[in-house]
Amino acid sequence: MSKVLVIGAGGVGSVAVHKMAMNPDIFSDITLASRRIAKCDAIAESVRARTGIIVKTAEVDADDVEATAALIEKVKPALVVNLALPYQDLSIMEACLKTGVNYLDTANYEPRDEAKFEYKWQWALHDRFKEAGLMALLGSGFDPGVTSVFATYLKKHHLDRIDTLDILDCNGGDHGQHFATNFNPEINIREVTAVARHWENGQWVETPPLSHKQSFDFDQVGPKNMYLMYHEEIESLKTHLPEIKRIRFWMTFGDAYLKHLEVLQNVGMTRIDPVIYEGREIIPLQFLKAVLPEPASLGPTTHGKTNIGDIATGEKDGAQKTFYIYNICDHEDAFEETGNQAVSYTTGVPAMIGAAMMLTGSWKGEGVFNIEQFDPDPFMDMLNKHGLPWQVKELAGPLEF
């Protein structure tokens, strides 16, 4: 029986709060706060209609440490679940330190003026969380999140050692729009247009954005082109599972998405430096976000499935083995259950599960932790029970690319 404060009323916040309300034994008291209270109220109304549970709501600017700390003092939660944007990670962590409350998020901090996903700023808070006797759990979404737990699960149950790890993120969904992103467009476009980096033999290998393409036949989705990208869990996995010689991350994109993105980049609309427009500064990418569909609005029209998982090759009892572990999530099923499409669903459910791990004491610690530092088993059990079932297959051999 615990009180939780969720910050961020987007698609991910909506799913997490719906799923918390469906587990009142763990989440006995839920407050949802965001920059605009109207969005929180709309989610609270959907939760009430679906589950009968009352979610309290509040308005907060989470960039403001004092205001966030004041809200935490008022609500007195056991845990703050940060489902706002990566820009707010440090200010919400500071507010948690100020008020003595545990912290969880799904995406690592990123400075607004630089598309740079790195854990260094959040890891630097480890000693302060430890000294305060508090726990911060970073990256409890799907990727990062479930994909890192999948890796530790394979290491615990199927392999003595992982040599290579490939994370494959496929969204086979169709939302019927010419161009839209499935989560926050600003964060999504910054991520996709960044230089691709993977980890190999103890060093980072950089390649131009979207320059490495492979076709892969995804179960229940079919063949898709996927592209090598940088993704933040590579940094934490190479730190916490240092035996892995190569870690790569792949994401699927359709040709129409890439064509639009190329044009938007060529005309300067994805720039994150300010330009002067009618006498005032605007950031082109933030303006673009304002004219694109809100990810949360794509739910009713999106159909198809996501398939996200890990392929790990390593050694078991002296023999080389390769395992593939993945989840398939249906956009329409996710929408029916929570009013949100599968990209929000696959992030919001693990956020709820990570919160449950902390609130029930299944995962304990003092300091700042990544998700792969804990026992995967109780988290994997909850994935099966709460809408994200997974399967493991042994493959004939390692990936040939």
Contact residues: ligand NDP, CB under 6 A: 7-13, 34-36, 39, 60-63, 83-86, 88, 106-107, 141-145, 183-184, 187, 295-296, 344, 347
**Least distance between ligand NDP and beta carbon 174 (Å):** 18
**Least distance between ligand NDP and beta carbon 137 (Å):** 12
Q: Choose among 173, 171, 102: nearest CA to 140.
A: 102
Count of helix runs (H) and strand runs (E) in the chain: 14, 18
Side-chain half-sphere of 198: how many Cα atoms within 13 Å? 22
Pairing of strands 275-277, 246-252: unpaired
Residue number, 159 or 192, with CB nearest to ligand NDP: 192
Which residues are bridge partners to 3 per DSSP? 29
Name the residue type at position 66. Answer: E
Residue number, 313 or 341, with CB nearest to ligand NDP: 341
| 318-339: burial string, b at 16+ Cβ within 10 Å, e else | eeebbbbbbbbbbbbebbebbb
Q: Is residue 111 reached through a cis peptide bond, with omega within 30 degrees of 0 on the bond before it?
A: no
Residue number, 62 or 311, with CB nearest to ligand NDP: 62
- Distance between CA atoms of 98 and 61, rounded to whole angstroms? 16
Residue nearest to ligand NDP (CB): 10
- Distance between CA atoms of 88 and 263, rounded to whole angstroms? 30
Residue number, 185 or 367, with CB nearest to ligand NDP: 185
**Least distance between ligand NDP and beta carbon 36 (Å):** 4
**Least distance between ligand NDP and beta carbon 14 (Å):** 7
**Least distance between ligand NDP and beta carbon 87 (Å):** 7
Q: Which residue, chain included where needed, has tokens 């694109």? A: 292
**Least distance between ligand NDP and beta carbon 168 (Å):** 14
- DSSP line for 153-186: HHHHHT-SEEEEEEEEEEE--B-S-SS--SS-HH
**Least distance between ligand NDP and beta carbon 66 (Å):** 13
Residue number, 106 or 322, with CB nearest to ligand NDP: 106
Which residues are bridge partners to 79 per DSSP? 4, 102
Residue number, 293 or 398, with CB nearest to ligand NDP: 293
Residue number, 102 or 181, with CB nearest to ligand NDP: 181
Distance in Å from the first CA to the final CA of the chain: 48
